[in-house]
Structure 1
Amino acid sequence: MDGLTPVVGYNLAIGVVVSLELLYLLSLEESVTAYRRFVLVTVAGLVLAVIGGPIVELVAPQLVHWVHGTAALLVVYGLYDPVTNDVRTTEWERVLLSEPSRVRRPAGWMTPMDDEILGALHGTELVLTPAVVAFNTGFSRKEVNRRLIELADHGFVEKVERGKYRLTRRGERYLRGQLRSTASADTETGVRG
Structure 2
Amino acid sequence: MRRAYLGDPTNPANQGEDIREDESTSVFVSNLPSDCLPTHVLMQLRGVGKIWASNFIPPQAPYTTAASKIVFWDRDGLDAFFAKWRHGDFIVSGHRPHVVMNWFRTSSKPPSDESRALTVTGPPEIVELFRLCEFLQAHFHFELEDMIEMPGAPDEGQTTIEVRFASWRAQASKAWSVVRKAIAGVEMPETPMTEREKYLWRSVTVDWAPDPSA
Which of the five TM-score ranges fits, normalised by the shorter chain? under 0.3
Query: With structure 1 as the length reference, what TM-score do the two structures score?
Result: 0.22
With a CA cutoff of 8 Å and minimum separation of 6, indicate the structure with the bigger relative contact order: 2
Structure number with the higher strand fraction is 2
Larger radius of gyration: 1
Query: With structure 2 as the length reference, what TM-score do the two structures score?
Result: 0.20
